[in-house]
Structure 1
């Protein structure tokens, strides 16, 4: 008997890998986002907010937006992956990180708050 796997066993393995690997390779970024969310939720200051709009960095990460707005991190990622024309947060990628320009985000935030008001604001 040979130590080599049979042709049928190899064919089955290739078929299995052909079905399974694309699913896992496509979820690499989502897994990173889940790890970020889990890590953020385990931090003692997870509810810390920035004191002012001026404290926000020029390029905001999902964590920065989460801390500023107190919107769930998973929801922030969903909004950053959504087109701004459909209500999403204006964002861009440099490599893997998903970022948003501070001024574009603040404009989006102000417009979104205004649309969501139940009563007109007294300015």
Structure 2
């Protein structure tokens, strides 16, 4: 298969590659998100309590989860003296931005109508 054939194959399946990429990025971001929460709990307890004490499988309100997400999106983790917290925060931030960029690319350049899902209600 020549180089042009590979490019045509990639262009034909751009949307499938993008959805696979979104899954991989979400897994990496989720692992980074939980690792960041655990590092804050272990090394910077006061910040961990300020952002709502994020725990895996806890019965927390949406407000606590939003405050932790805002901690990442506002890049407040950059003020930490602990390098691991800064690196995990950067990982979470980059994964968030990358997922949105790939999703926007699919919405703009993809053919979302090619999946005939028949999601109609009623007749």
* Higher helix proportion (structure 1 or 2): 2
- Give the TM-score of the pair, scaled to structure 1: 0.32
- Give the TM-score of the pair, scaled to structure 2: 0.32
* Higher strand proportion (structure 1 or 2): 1
Q: Which has the larger radius of gyration?
A: 1
